[in-house]
Amino acid sequence: MIQRSLVLLKPDALDRGIVGEIITRFERVGASIVGLKLLVSEKDTAEKHYTEDLAQRRGEAVRNMMIEMLLSGPVVAMTVEGVEIVEVVRKMVGATEPKAAAPGTIRGDYSHVSFAHADEKGIGVFNLIHASSSPEEAEVEINVWFRPEELFNRDSSYTKFTVKK
């Protein structure tokens, strides 16, 4: 089953200069990059990304900290495509809390911050990357960050790109 997933490389990934290394991991696993852009998020985009659902699950204060973290610098928004790619990307990214992420995952190899540290500092967790948690969430999130004409499709042989209309 071919799926798409949103991947956001957050401001701390750009600050650290590891964007290329992270993108390379997705290319090496065979994910196709069908959308890619560097941008500074507008506040309304960050608010659409971190939905009210997050506030209900983790509290409005956490949602606000995550929005502020996303607005703290440029981000790379990427749409990747591949066979059951949502699950593949989530495994590659690792646990949301960096200190709990397994070695070999992006967060496990490049970050170590704990929820407790972020809470003590009153900041969002700088964990380098966001990845959609389900195919349904991916569809919603991709539409937050990309217009249809910014995404490309692969043809059935998976060798050529075409503009999505």
- Residues 88-117: tens digit of each pLDDT: 999 999 999 999 999 999 999 999 999 899
Partners of 9 in the β-ladder: 76, 129
Sheet containing 75-83: order of strands: 32-39, 75-83, 2-9, 129-131
DSSP designation for 123? -
Return d(Cα 35, Cα 150) in angstroms, integer.
6
DSSP designation for 98? G
CB 92 within 8 A of CB 25: yes
117 is catalytic: no
- Residues 18-72: tens digit of each pLDDT: 999 999 999 999 999 999 999 999 999 999 998 877 656 777 888 898 899 999 9
Q: Check 49, 112, 117, 130 and give the catalytic one.
A: 130
Please tell me the predicted confidence (pLDDT) of residue 59.
75
Q: Contacts by 20-28 with C-beta closer than 8 Å and gap 24+?
A: 21/110, 22/106, 22/110, 22/128, 22/129, 23/76, 23/78, 25/92, 25/106, 26/78, 26/80, 26/89, 26/92
Cα-based distances in Å from 159 to 73, 77, 82, 153, 155:
35, 23, 13, 10, 7
Return d(Cα 142, Cα 6) in angstroms, integer.
6
Lowest mean pLDDT among 5-9, 112-116, 137-141, 144-148: 112-116
pLDDT above 90 for 6: yes
Q: What is the CATH number of domain 2-150?
A: 3.30.70.141
pLDDT above 60 for 82: yes
* Domain ranges across the chain: 2-150
Lowest mean pLDDT among 5-19, 29-43, 142-156: 142-156
pLDDT above 60 for 164: no
Phi, psi (rounded to 5 degrees) for 82: 175, 180
Q: What's this model's pTM, rounded to 2 decimal places?
A: 0.89
Average pLDDT on 6-15 reads 97
